[in-house]
Chain A
Amino acid sequence: MRQKISPSNRHMFLFFSAFIFFLLLPEQSMALQTHGEPEGIYVHQMAHILYMTALCYLYWDTKRSTFSGRGWTYLRIFCVFTILWNLLALTGHACTQQLHPKDFSVDDGYLASKINMPVTFIKVLFYTAKHDHLLAVPAMFFLYMGLRSFYIHSLEEEDE
């Protein structure tokens, strides 16, 4: 006796057949995009640009708004230093892409590592960018000063 297959069961059979086919042959499905090596640095650089843009906006908005006082001035100085740090970091990362391992010498150990001669613009730029904390630390210091001012001002307001 021959059993008749219902239309719904037929649909379920077709769906599961296609699922197994694509699971076994992923290259044919075109479902995943592969990410090459430069993508990480691009994302990082874009994050720097995004961070810088956000800080520019913050600077502009605090400047145009009615917020006044020493705390807001410190916050805007923090924005300037952080924007500069972002620029320097962006430049540093870009320079790293231009330099070759042969441009560095670690023969006498890591602490005695140096950039080999001849000195080029990229190498000077890279060397400068390696000192980015000279911008990042003052930036954090002004943020600290700004928040401290807000707090002191808040205490003074309460006393008044």
Chain B
Amino acid sequence: MGMYMLPSVITDIVGSLAMIVLSFLSLRYTFLLVRRDPDNFLWSFLHYFCLTLAIFAISRAMGHMVKQALLIGGQKEAWKIISPFSGGLNTLLMISVSSVTIYYHKGVEGYRAIQKKAESLRIANRDLEKASTTMREMNLHLEEMIEIRTRDLALSEEKFRNFFHNSKDMVFFCDDTGIILDMNRAGLEMLNYNEDTNPDLSLNRLFADHTGLETFYSTLLDQKFIDDFEIEFIKKDGSVICALLSATALYDNKGTFRGCEGIAKDLTRLKTMTSQMISTEKMASVGQMAAGVAHEINTPLGIILGYSQLMKDDFPKDSEEFENLVVVERQSQACRKIVADLLKFSRQSGSSHGKADINEILTDVLAITEHNLHLDHIETERCFAENLPVITGDEEKLRQVFVNLINNAQHAMEDEGGVLTVRTRFSEEKGMIIASVMDTGTGIDQTIKHRIFDPFFTTKSVGKGTGLGLSVSYGIIQDHKGTITIESPVMYKNSCQLTPGTAMHIHLPVPDKTTTTD
């Protein structure tokens, strides 16, 4: 009896074969892994581990199988010789497998370090990519924002630039010393400056009134703005325009006054229109009164004249009474003439309108008056426009108007002589004929300018005029739907220099062709 060793022999042989097969199958997979990923340390380690293990398995299995074969064949002595070599080889291979495994320690550390580095690099890369994406988005957003802001800014700039350039009022910016830094086109046109010349302008130079300038600055500094300040600006040619100025003071961050920005509106036209309206209203009311007075006086005057003529028959011609009645009759006739003039002024007298040639009328008038003018050393100049349209009007009354104007001109130049210029022209744009009577006389004082059309207003000495000449002329021109304007001092012969003469401009409308035909 005993423990039979046959099971262990069978296990030894089968197990050894299985070990060889399994070790080579394992080696195949490590080979495939290394081939797929040669840089992977783990696959390399497992490959060498399996290679050593396969050699160990072969060595051990071969040893076991040879042992079993020799012992089964009764070759115990032969196995005794081989046994130490087989055992020694197995020992060596076990040490090799152990060494590979221990070597794995260092290798895997390196591999882990590389992996850690790779991981941190991957994370850094991912973070960098994320940051790059964020930056790109931000950049894109920033670009969009800049684009929007720039567009808004450009629109705003264009809006204000258009406002500045297209404004019909003067817009300007000036520094703290009053020097105009920028002025829009309308402002320069208002002051008669050329836009391209870029003139050196300052408030000190522009303000006509020094006191006004001081008031402007003091108000601006006190209130930081000035509103609807009525001032007069001096134009390039020296003439003055009336303007309504509003301005705002400009300060820097430290609160120091840096200048102002202002808007000025030209009031000259408005003032002229207002003045004209006032004048028209005044003349209309004066005319009404004159007409009433004339009508009331005309009847008793007619009776006085009639009776005086009847009474003359009652006295002999050489008698004193007859002479007195002649005086009464003459003075009554003079009064009737005045009354007739008043009626003409108030347009109450009858008129016969027909075709009238202004050039022809002026030629007639000059023919009558030229002799007297020459006596006063007054030269006459005729500047008649050719092909002047014919107007509809009362030739006789128009003739009277021009006689009045020429008489006034003569009166203005009677002491020192001068030049009387009579000019006609046609303004197609306005559809008006403009007839001007200009003299180089003393001119009209600004203080009486607004009164010269008033009835009985005269600067002539007593007995030389009734003061009805211009009033009558005014009434006649009004009756012809025209206007009469005064220019004094006058720009003589477009010389760009003002001379102390007077120009009376009469604007008469030219009827439409259709109207004329009808």
Interface residues of A (CB under 8 A from B): 40, 43-44, 47-48, 50-51, 53-55, 57-58, 61, 65, 67, 105, 109-117, 119, 123-124, 127, 130-134, 136-137, 140-141, 143-144, 147-148, 150-151, 154, 158
Chain A CB within 10 A, most for which of B6, B15, B71? B15
- Give chain A nearest CB distance to B334 CB in angstroms: 130
Question: Is B9 in contact with A111, judged by CB distance below 8 angstroms?
Answer: yes
In the complex, besides A144-B26, A154-B33, 17 extra interface pairs with C-beta distance below 8 angstroms are A54-B98, A54-B101, A61-B104, A65-B112, A109-B72, A110-B72, A112-B6, A117-B1, A131-B8, A134-B11, A143-B26, A144-B29, A147-B26, A150-B33, A151-B29, A151-B36, A158-B36
The number of residue pairs between A and B whose CB atoms lie closer than 8 Å in the complex comes to: 130
Q: Is there a chain A Cβ closer than 8 Å to B91's Cβ?
A: yes
Contact A133:B14 (CB < 8 A) given known A110-B71, A154-B37: yes
0/1 string, B64-105, CB within 8 A of A gives 1 = 000000011010000000001001101110110111011011
Which residue of B is nearest A134, CB measured? B11
Provide the bound-state CA to CA distance between A130 and B88, in Å.
19
A148 to B15, CA, bound (A): 21
Q: Which of A51, A105, A136, A158 contacts B2 (CB 8 A)?
A: A105
Whether the pair B102, A119 counts as a contact (CB closer than 8 A) is no
B97 adjacent to A111 (CB under 8 Å): no
CB atoms of A50 and B95 under 8 A apart: yes
Instruction: Give A2 to B352 CA distance when docked, in angstroms.
Output: 183
Tell me the count of chain B residues lying within 8 A, CB to CB, of chain A.
52
Give the residues in chain A near B74, CB-CB below 8 Å: 109-110
Q: Which of A105, A143, A158 is in CB contact (< 8 Å) with B22?
A: A143
18 A-B residue contacts at CB 8 Å?
A: A47-B91, A54-B98, A57-B102, A61-B105, A65-B112, A67-B42, A105-B2, A109-B72, A109-B74, A113-B4, A114-B4, A134-B15, A140-B57, A147-B46, A150-B29, A151-B29, A154-B33, A154-B37
* Known contacts A48-B94, A51-B98, A133-B18; A40 and B5 CB within 8 A of each other: no
CB of B16 within 8 A of chain A?
A: yes
CB-CB contacts of B396-431 with A at 8 A, as 1s and 0s? 000000000000000000000000000000000000
Q: Distance (Å) between the CB of B14 and the closest chain A CB?
A: 7
CB distance from B268 to the nearest CB of A (A): 90
Contact A57:B101 (CB < 8 A) given known A117-B1, A133-B19, A144-B25: yes
A123 and B46 form a contact (CB under 8 A): no
B residues 10-49 near A (Cβ < 8 Å) are 11-12, 14-16, 18-19, 22-23, 25-26, 29-30, 32-33, 36-37, 42-43, 46
Shortest beta-carbon distance, A104 to chain B, in Å?
A: 8
A133 with B46: CB separation less than 8 A = no
- SS class, residues of chain A in contact with chain B: helix
CB distance from A142 to the nearest CB of B (A): 9
Residues of A close to B25: CB separation below 8 A: 144
Asked if A57 meets B105 with Cβ closer than 8 Å, knowing A140-B57, A154-B37, the reply is: yes
Name the B residues within 8 Å of A143 (CB-CB): 22, 26, 50, 53
Q: Find out whether the CB atom of B97 lies under 8 angstroms from the CB atom of A51.
A: yes
Determine the chain A residues whose CB is within 8 A of the CB of B463 once the complex forms. none
* Residues in A whose Cβ lies below 8 Å from that of B18: 133, 137, 140
Enumerate chain B residues within 8 angstroms of A51, measured Cβ to Cβ.
Answer: 94-95, 97-98
Q: How far is the CA of A67 from the CA of B37 in the complex (A)?
A: 17
Tell me, in angstroms, the Cα distance from A136 to B61 when the chains sit together.
11
A117 proximity list for chain B (CB < 8 A): 1-2
Residues of A within 8 A of B98 (CB): 47, 50-51, 53-54
B3 is an interface residue with CB less than 8 A from chain A = yes
B108 within 8 Å of A (CB atoms): yes
Residue of A nearest to B1 (CB): A117
Residues of chain A lying within 8 A (CB to CB) of residue B37: 154
> How many Å lie between the Cα of A112 and that of B3 in the bound state?
10
Residue of A nearest to B5 (CB): A113
**Contacting pair B9 A137 (CB below 8 A):** no
What CA separation (Å) do A58 and B97 show in the bound complex? 12
In the bound complex, CA of A130 to CA of B458 (Å): 161
Would you call B91 and A44 a contact (CB within 8 A)? yes
Q: Which residues of B contact A40 (CB under 8 A)?
A: 84, 87-88, 91
Q: Across the interface, which residues of B come within 8 angstroms of A55, CB to CB?
A: 101
Q: Are B2 and A114 in contact (CB under 8 A)?
A: yes
Is B255 part of the contact surface with A, judged by Cβ < 8 Å?
no
| Interfacial chain A residues near B104, Cβ < 8 Å | 58, 61
Instruction: Chain A residues near B9: list those with CB within 8 A.
Output: 110-111
Answer whether residue B7 sits at the interface, using C-beta atoms and an 8 A cutoff.
yes
Chain A residues, CB < 8 A from B112? 65
- CB distance A54 to B97 under 8 Å? yes
A57 cross-chain contacts in B, Cβ below 8 A: 101-102, 105
* Beta-carbon contact of A147 and B33 below 8 Å: yes
Which chain B positions have C-beta within 8 A of A154?
A: 33, 36-37
Q: Which residues of B contact A112 (CB under 8 A)?
A: 4, 6
The distance from the CB of B345 to the nearest CB of chain A, in whole angstroms, is: 114
Q: A130-B12, A137-B15 are in contact. Are A151 and B3 (CB under 8 A)?
A: no
From residue B52, how far is it (CB to closest CB) to chain A in Å?
11
